[in-house]
């Protein structure tokens, strides 16, 4: 009996320690669309930038990637993907919010009017703040589209501006990933920028036997570049989690 009591006591202590450790960790919740989301093996090498992003922080930070393919602000809320996150939020957590790709396309079922898009973003912000967590708005990451002169085309101009408007009016932290990713693609140029996206020749990958030319979704290299753009902005904004970013080893 005494032995069983000792085992029970140790078990309780272990639970308390585990709870306290979880309590001490900062969680970054990612909500958004396919350009950010976790991909299945059958989609490889398609990679959302949220995937490499999880590996850039030390053990005191947990990144939960809740982004989903094809979702807009409206469908993310309607499918009850947002409410469970709100219920888990605690003081000091972050919510990184990146939508627009599916909100802006009028032919998609996920289409969201400009008015509703702003309202949904504001809902994310207010409900995050109500839990004393920190919202960070992110403009939609660029598509690979160039004009005949080799200049990158801004395919998110209207909805990126709406994100900025909500951020400015409500004093929300903003990462302008749209602008930084367009600059990155412009620096790579028309041909080399293709190396960042899910471009595959027929027979190159069993997941895409007929090949794939996708100028919206990234491969592993492209996703890593986009994640690094976000990390650079975290440092510029001087967020508390900047000190948790793992520094690369010197060679």
- 59 with 95: CB under 8 angstroms? no
Taking the C-alpha atoms of residue 146 and residue 153, their distance in angstroms, rounded to an integer, is 5
What token pair was written down for 149? 């002169």
Helix (H, G, I), strand (E, B) or coil at 23: helix
β-pair type (26-32, 61-65):
parallel
Low-confidence residues of the chain: pLDDT under 70: 1-23, 247-251
- 213 with 205: CB under 8 angstroms? no
pLDDT of residue 121: 98
Would you kindly state where each structural domain of the chain is located, as residue ranges? 26-244
pLDDT of residue 24: 78
pLDDT of residue 19: 41
pLDDT of residue 80: 98
pLDDT of residue 248: 55
CATH of domain 26-244: 3.40.50.1110
């Amino acid at each position: 009996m005494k032995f069983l009591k000792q085992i029970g006591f140790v078990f309780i202590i272990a639970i308390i320690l585990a709870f306290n450790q979880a309590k001490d960790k900062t969680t970054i919740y990612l909500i958004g669309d396919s350009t950010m989301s976790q991909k299945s093996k059958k989609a490889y090498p398609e990679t959302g930038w949220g995937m490499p992003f999880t590996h850039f922080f030390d053990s005191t930070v947990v990144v939960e990637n809740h982004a989903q393919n094809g979702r807009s602000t409206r469908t993310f809320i309607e499918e009850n993907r947002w409410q469970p996150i709100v219920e888990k939020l605690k003081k000091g957590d972050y919510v990184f919010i990146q939508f627009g790709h599916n909100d802006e396309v009028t032919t998609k079922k996920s289409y969201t009017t400009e008015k509703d898009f702003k309202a949904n973003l504001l809902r994310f912000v207010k409900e995050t703040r109500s839990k004393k967590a920190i919202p960070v708005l992110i403009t939609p990451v660029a598509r690979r589209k160039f004009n005949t002169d080799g200049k990158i085309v801004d395919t998110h101009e209207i909805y990126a501006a709406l994100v900025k408007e909500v951020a400015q009016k409500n004093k929300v932290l903003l990462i302008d990933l749209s602008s930084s990713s367009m600059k990155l693609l412009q620096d790579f140029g028309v041909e080399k920028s293709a190396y960042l996206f899910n471009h595959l020749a027929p027979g190159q990958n069993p997941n895409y036997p007929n090949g794939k030319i996708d100028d919206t979704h990234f491969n592993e290299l492209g996703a890593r570049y986009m994640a690094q753009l976000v990390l650079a902005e975290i440092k510029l904004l001087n967020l508390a989690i900047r000190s948790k970013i793992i520094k690369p080893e010197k060679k």
